[in-house]
Amino acid sequence: MNKKYETFKEKESDTFYRIRALRDFGNVKTGDVGGYIENESNLSHEGDCWVFDNAEVYGNAQVFGNAQVYGNARVHGDAQVYDNARVYDNAWVYDNAWVYDNAEVFGYALVFGNAWIYENAQVSGYAEVYGNAWVHGDTHVSGDVSERYSTEVSEQNNETTTNTDTMTIAVQNGTIKLDDLLALIEQYKLKVHLSFN
């Protein structure tokens, strides 16, 4: 394996190592200084993955494939960011969460627990996605929405069904007023399946 970066400490008291590219790959040039990792298991030497700016990847978290973490983003715990996924701005991905395919997590979004964000999904703003939630398809979760249950947010056929365990809400034009959604979740204390078409 041909290493693509080296690590160094800016100050001896630093907890994390800064990274410096040893060769050109993707949008990174030899000598470019990247973000911070705790150890080399956090960032693969293969593919075009990279940690930029002041972003930090630590714990048992892994960034690999062509994934990018940048801005002031944090990836930690046992989280994985891979394929062509992006985590940036002030977003955090942690615990056992996975972000992959072409998914993006940005703004002040938090993705944690066992949540999966994949395909072309986006999580942004102050959204929190956690528990066993899946966000996928071309779905964009934004604002102050919190996926608190075993929730799957995806593109599927329009349907609305209600029983004592599950409520499926079909949104025709890809938007729903977040206050209305949160009110439904709170009112019925149900697992919610959102279908955006």
Q: Domain of 61: which CATH number?
A: 2.160.10.10
Q: What is the pTM of this model?
A: 0.77
Distance CA 113, CA 191 (A): 16
What is the pLDDT confidence band of residue 48, given thresholds at 50, 70 and 90?
very high
pLDDT at 153: 59
Give the pLDDT confidence score for residue 166 in this predicted structure. Answer: 41
Q: Which domain holds residue 169?
A: 5-196
Q: Quick check: 94 and 106 in contact, CB under 8 A? A: no
Cα-to-chain-centroid distance, residue 103: 7
| Tens digit of each residue's pLDDT (9 = 90 or more) over 142-177 | 876 444 433 455 544 333 222 334 444 444 445 455
Count how many domains the chain has: 1
71-103: pLDDT as tens digits: 999 999 999 999 999 999 999 999 999 999 999
Stretch 29-50: mean pLDDT = 98
Distance, in Å, from the CA atom of 104 to the CA atom of 168, rounded to the nearest integer, reads 24
